Amino acid sequence: MARIKNQSQRREALISATLETVGQSGLRSLSLADVARRAGLTRGAILYYYEDLDALLLETHRAGVERFCDHRDDVIAELDDPQDQLSAAIGEGLPSGPDDALMRLLYEFDVLAGTSSAHDEMVENMFNRQMKIYQDVLAAGIEAGVFVPVIPVDQLALNLVALEDAYGLHIVAGNSLMTVERAKEAMHAAATGLGAPPSRS
């Protein structure tokens, strides 16, 4: 049992090292040697746990999606008011800033879509999780009578996901004209204009 625990901890450490390395140098130039240096291991030691760099990236992306989406689900679940939930969904869905290593990896991973079925599955899983978050919150708001969407709920959710991704990409790319606060305000305005006003918290 101890061996399994140690293997699990080592995989978590490798995922963390991958996220940190991507945050510093980006995904395009990433190598197993870079991750090995960050983790304090040899390249061969990483290959004991993962077949190659692509396998490590897939596992890191999978873990990243779970961390990102599970955390947002947990924050929303603690709120009762659908307007507060929508505000939280918007705020938690955006990067914390240009140095958000996890969000940077998730966005950069989109570039690899179409290169393999595994990459496509990861990207689509992220999209489906994003859509469900907004669909559920919007449905709760309609039931409570605080949201009256002017377009179908699925289309409204799709627009919010698209804005989340577009603004988030500008943030992690370091566009000084797009701050986290400006993105939040823009998404709040769009949701309000489409009949689903978030709270201002």
More confident residue, 102 or 135: 135
Q: Residue 109: which of 167, 28, 170 has the closest Cα?
A: 28
Q: Within a domain: residue 47? A: no
Count of domains forming the chain: 1
> Residues in the chain, how many?
201
CATH number of the domain bearing residue 141: 1.10.357.10
Q: Residue 57: which of 128, 131, 111, 3 has the closest Cα?
A: 111
Between CA 199 and CA 133 the distance in angstroms is: 17
More confident residue, 13 or 89: 89
Q: Within a domain: residue 150? A: yes
**Amino acid of residue 109:** F
Mean pLDDT score, 52-73: 85
Q: Within a domain: residue 16? A: no
pTM for this structure? Answer: 0.82
**Range(s) of the domain holding residue 156:** 55-193
**Amino acid of residue 93:** G
Between CA 39 and CA 186 the distance in angstroms is: 39
